[in-house]
Amino acid sequence: MHVSQALSCPLVELLAPLIERDGFMPTALPVVSLVASHRPCARTPLMYEPSLIIVAQGYKIGYLGDREIHYGPGQYLVQTLPLPFECETHASAEAPVLGMSIRLDPALLGELVTAMGEQDGEAEASPVPMASVSMTDGMHGAVVRLLQTLHDPAETAAMGELRVRDVVFEALKGQQGPALRALVLHQGHYSRIVQVLSWLHAHYAEEVSVEALARQANMSPSTFHQHFKQVAQASPLQYLKRLRLIKAQQLLVQEESNVNQAAEAVGYRSVSQFSRDYKRCFGVSPLQHRKEERALQAS
């Protein structure tokens, strides 16, 4: 049974008092963040850590390769890999985006997958790394309990981790369960690409060659390229460039680095090349982007 859009109302009522500002806000639970936006945002590149994203109000459209991924009330997004994609946000001051992000902890996933045992049809499953899933009654109830817990510091300290566990368990039972389980089971080409993506995510500022990545995945360069593009919807070098630029955006906007510092930190040797790539990606120069975001934050 699927939860109707009307059932998102309790989530909005639970989220609204917790929201302090736009953006991602940490909570007392390290893996849980609150999400808000009081203004629309045109299609722009971004990247989520592996996570579950629950949107109680407002609407988002993700673009990954030729796929459109819609998520809003009555759905949740399952992002199993740190994939750069493009996102369009539908929000307003009267109806802001309100939501919650739960970062996927590999240790918790591994524990739950082991406890649940083998699932029917697992061998035939072809994992999709990012997809919107309809909210079930079980997932809705788990999210409500987690949000209720966040309203009480004592309950958060005593029961918060169990409430997170409840939500992740419901996700494992859902349509994206096979993709979540594939992160743990280490089987086949998908798992090898997952390991390479994780390595790139930690070493994006280093010099990288497709041949070295293929060796790491124990594949020929052509086979590696084919499977990488199938999972990431981009070639390895396209993925790396987009990853570097999104990391640079975070440095410029959130951590107040200057353009030279951001370029160097993400592995660019030429600031002029960095600026050209950045403008092609985001539509504005890095300096202009920094100014615009600061003006919005100050308003």
- N- to C-terminal Cα distance for the chain? 43
224 and 142, same domain (yes or no) = no
pLDDT value, residue 261: 93
13 and 160, same domain (yes or no) = yes
124 and 160, same domain (yes or no) = yes
22 and 161, same domain (yes or no) = yes
Instruction: Indicate the residue among 141, 156, 183 that finishes a domain.
Output: 183
262 and 117, same domain (yes or no) = no
162 and 256, same domain (yes or no) = no
CB atoms within 10 A of CB 134: 13
What's the Rg (C-alpha) of the chain?
20
pTM over 0.85: no
35 and 154, same domain (yes or no) = yes
42 and 125, same domain (yes or no) = yes
177 and 267, same domain (yes or no) = no
- Report the domain count for the chain: 3
pLDDT value, residue 299: 61
287 and 190, same domain (yes or no) = no
Assign 3-class secondary structure to the chain: CECCHHHHHHHHHHHHHHCCCCEEEECCCCCEEEEEECCCEEEEEEECCCEEEEEEECEEEEEECCEEEEECCCEEEEECCCCEEEEEEECCCCCCEEEEEEECCHHHHHHHHHHHCCCCCCCCCCCCCEEEEECEHHHHHHHHHHHHHHCCHHHHHHHHHHHHHHHHHHHHHCCCHHHHHHHHHCCHHHHHHHHHHHHHHHHCCCCCCHHHHHHHCCCCHHHHHHHHHHHHCCCHHHHHHHHHHHHHHHHHHCCCCCHHHHHHHCCCCCHHHHHHHHHHHHCCCHHHHHHHHHHHHHC
Who contacts 282 (Cβ-Cβ below 8 Å, separation ≥6)?
Answer: 44, 45, 245, 249, 289
168 and 197, same domain (yes or no) = no
CATH of the domain at 252: 1.10.10.60
**Measured distance CA(267)–CA(260) in Å, rounded:** 11
132 and 206, same domain (yes or no) = no
In this prediction, the residues of the chain whose per-residue pLDDT falls under 50 are: 1-7, 124
Biggest CA–CA distance in the chain, Å, is 55
pLDDT value, residue 1: 36
CATH of the domain at 65: 2.60.120.10
pLDDT value, residue 128: 84
pLDDT value, residue 7: 47
pLDDT value, residue 5: 42
Instruction: Indicate the residue among 142, 159, 183 that finishes a domain.
Output: 183
Domain that holds residue 34: 5-183
